[in-house]
């Protein structure tokens, strides 16, 4: 039943949203709600870890209510949608609570992971990865059951799949699937390291560069092969085997010699470099990278090789605008690109980075899915598949062999 039929929504009344998390992603979600078209929406509350953080963000974006406890959002009967943009370890408990409270859910990546079961905080990353995989599988079964018992939507905020360049590629590939197949997908998301302290700890992040960065291209690859199979034969093509490698490059001998590197350091028990290869049920391959070793701004790219065509796209390294300056002092307060270390020399400032990254598009899709009671483009199945592939990847890294998902 859609919100209209449930009597919860009339076109003149906005869909009401509460955001949990008042950090970096909370801010870009807020800006995306402002761009939603044709569906009236209103962010009515923000909850942060502290009231001050929530208040700062709320005042910047004219949000009326701000709290230091997300339960105020869950208890507010006027709020229909809960948007979860907190550190990864909090996603699953909040998703379960929000579903039980009857709220539709938007959840940032990844849906969940392994965050410890009583190990000391700094030893969570050393837990045998088989144990991690078993625990996340249990958690995924639980979330599936809870979502099935509560008739709410789950919208998985994987922006890659909503990004305009990905969608254009998908439109083209859809035409090619009648006579062709994807043979290989190469995907990469890399930058110089996360701004968020929690990302350095397995206890909070559930992994390193693989769970945080490679999660994007892997999800996009899983989505593409599933889509291809469903379009051509009515049956999804899914991941059947995973083979991965990962390490913390800042703990190598090479890095020990480095002086004045702008790369983020201080990683606790997580990897900063990762590669994961998926073999799909039709025998084709996806190879995905997520790394924190890249200077010069974030890169999010994919190269898809089909039997009859090829598609390449880049989500953020666009070259629409070129700029050169020797001393960047005059442009200090102008935004250029995510994770660009310096504005000196030649740069390509992105005219609308959040647009090319697909953030407004994902929020638009989720609002329409909720109001018109249709599936979001990126939902629970994709979120669950990704978590299983990631943790099979961590098992592969530890055991040095391919891991079957069958
Ligand atoms: N899709 C993307 O491109 C993208 C980009 C960045 C982050 N993310 C995701 O967004 C999520 C948040 O990342 P971020 O970069 O915004 O981190 P951040 O550290 O900037 O913000 C996290 C916020 O959560 C708040 N928080 C912590 N515990 C809380 C609690 N119990 N109740 C309410 N708020 C609490 C913190 O105070 C902080 O304000 C992560 O899951 C991350 O994977 C996605």
Domains of the chain by start residue, with CATH = 15-158+362-378 (3.40.50.720), 160-357+389-404 (3.30.360.10)
pLDDT value, residue 2: 56
- Judged against a pLDDT cut of 60, whether residue 7 lies above it is answered with no
Name the closest-CA residue to atom 19, ligand 1.
Answer: 196
Q: Which atom of ligand 1 is nearest to the CA of 197?
A: 19
Taking CA atoms only, the protein residue closest to ligand 1 atom 9 is: 108
Q: How far is the CA of 109 from the centre of ligand 1 (A)?
A: 10
Q: Of 138, 240, 193, 215, which is closest to residue 390 (Cα–Cα)?
A: 215
Q: What is the structure's pLDDT at 8?
A: 54
Q: Is residue 199 in contact with ligand 1, taking CB distance under 6 Å?
A: no
pLDDT in tens, 14-65: 999 999 999 999 999 999 999 999 999 999 999 999 999 999 999 999 999 9
Coarse DSSP helix, strand, coil percentages of the chain, rounded to the nearest 5 percent: 40, 20, 40
Q: How many A from CA of 111 to the centre of ligand 1? A: 13
Contacts 24+ apart (CB under 8 A), 133-137: 133/388, 133/391, 133/392, 133/394, 133/395, 136/112, 136/387, 136/388, 136/391, 137/388
pLDDT of residue 64: 97
pLDDT at 318: 82
Using a pLDDT cut of 90, give the percent of the chain over it.
94
Cβ 88 under 6 angstroms from ligand 1: yes
Q: State the pLDDT confidence band at 6, using cuts at 50, 70 and 90.
A: low
Strand partners, 189: 290, 300
**What is the chain's Cα-based Rg?**
21
Question: Which residue lies with its CA nearest to atom 18 of ligand 1?
Answer: 23
pLDDT digits (tens, 9 = 90+) for 298-324: 999 999 999 999 999 999 878 899 999
Phi and psi at 346, nearest 5°, equal -85, 130
Tokens for 384? Answer: 């669950």
- The mean pLDDT value of the chain amounts to 96
- Regarding the beta carbon of 20 and ligand 1, being less than 6 Å apart is answered yes
Q: In this predicted structure, what is the pLDDT of residue 3?
A: 59
* Residue matched to tokens 């009339």: 10
pLDDT band per the 50, 70, 90 thresholds, residue 226: very high
Instruction: Give me the residues paired with residue 325 across strands.
Output: 345
What number does the ligand 1 atom closest to the CA of 69 have? 32
Q: How far is the CA of 389 from the centre of ligand 1 (A)?
A: 23
Q: What's the order of all strands across the beta sheet hosting 15-20? A: 65-67, 41-47, 15-20, 81-84, 104-108, 154-157
- Report the separation in Å between the CA atom of 11 and the middle of ligand 1, taken as the mean of its atom positions: 31
Pocket lining: 22 vs ligand 1, CB cutoff 6 Å: yes
Residue 241 and residue 12: Cα distance in Å, rounded? 49
Distance 294 CA to ligand 1 centre (A): 22
Establish whether residue 23 lines the binding site of ligand 1, counting it when its CB lies within 6 angstroms of any ligand atom: yes
Strand, helix or coil for residue 293: coil
> Is 328 close to ligand 1, i.e. is its CB under 6 Å away?
no
Pocket test for ligand 1, best of 98, 107, 108 (most atoms within 8 A of CB): 108
What is the C-alpha to C-alpha distance for residues 339 and 191, in angstroms, rounded to an integer?
Answer: 7
Asked if residue 9 has pLDDT above 90, the reply is: no
Mean pLDDT of 131-138: 98
Identify which has the larger pLDDT, 210 or 259.
210
The finding on whether 290 has its CB within 6 A of some atom of ligand 1 is: no
* Residue 377 CB less than 6 A away from ligand 1: no
Instruction: Tell me the average pLDDT across 182-194.
Output: 97
């Amino acid at each position: 039943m859609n919100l209209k039929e449930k009597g919860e929504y009339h076109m003149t009344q906005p869909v009401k949203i509460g955001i949990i998390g008042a950090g970096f992603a909370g801010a870009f979600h807020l800006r995306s709600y402002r761009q939603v078209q044709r569906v009236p929406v209103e962010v009515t509350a923000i909850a942060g870890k502290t009231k001050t953080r929530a208040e700062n963000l709320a005042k910047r974006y004219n949000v009326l209510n701000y709290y230091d406890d997300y339960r105020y959002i869950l208890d507010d009967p006027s709020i229909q949608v809960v948007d979860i943009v907190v550190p990864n370890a909090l996603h699953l408990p909040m998703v379960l609570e929000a579903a039980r409270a009857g709220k539709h859910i938007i959840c940032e990546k990844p849906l969940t992971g392994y965050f410890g079961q009583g190990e000391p905080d700094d030893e969570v990353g050393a837990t045998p990865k088989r144990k991690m995989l078993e625990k996340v599988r249990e958690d995924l079964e639980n979330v599936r059951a809870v979502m099935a018992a509560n008739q709410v939507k789950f919208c998985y905020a994987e922006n890659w799949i909503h990004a305009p360049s990905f969608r254009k590629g998908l439109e083209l590939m859809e035409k090619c699937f009648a006579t062709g197949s994807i043979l290989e997908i190469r995907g990469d998301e890399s930058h110089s390291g996360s701004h968020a302290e929690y990302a350095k700890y397995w206890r909070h992040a559930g992994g390193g560069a693989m769970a945080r960065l490679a999660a994007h291209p892997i999800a996009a690859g899983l989505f593409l092969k599933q889509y291809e199979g469903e379009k051509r034969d009515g049956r999804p093509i899914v991941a059947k085997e995973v083979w991965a490698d990962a390490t913390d490059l800042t703990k190598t001998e090479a890095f020990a010699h480095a002086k004045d590197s702008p790369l983020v350091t201080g990683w606790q028990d997580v990897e900063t470099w990762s590669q994961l290869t998926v073999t799909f049920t039709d025998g084709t391959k996806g190879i995905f990278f997520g790394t924190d070793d890249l200077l010069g701004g974030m890169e999010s790219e994919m190269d898809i090789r089909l039997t009859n065509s090829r598609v390449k796209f880049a989500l953020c390294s666009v070259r629409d605008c070129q700029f050169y300056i020797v001393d960047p002092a005059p442009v200090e307060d102008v935004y250029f690109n995510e994770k660009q270390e310096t504005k000196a020399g030649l740069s390509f400032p992105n005219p609308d980075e959040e647009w090319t990254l697909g953030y407004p598009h994902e929020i638009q899709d989720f609002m329409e899915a909720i109001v018109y009671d249709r599936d979001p483009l990126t939902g629970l199945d994709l979120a669950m598949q990704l978590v299983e592939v990631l943790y099979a990847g961590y098992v592969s890294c530890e055991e040095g062999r391919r891991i079957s998902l069958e």
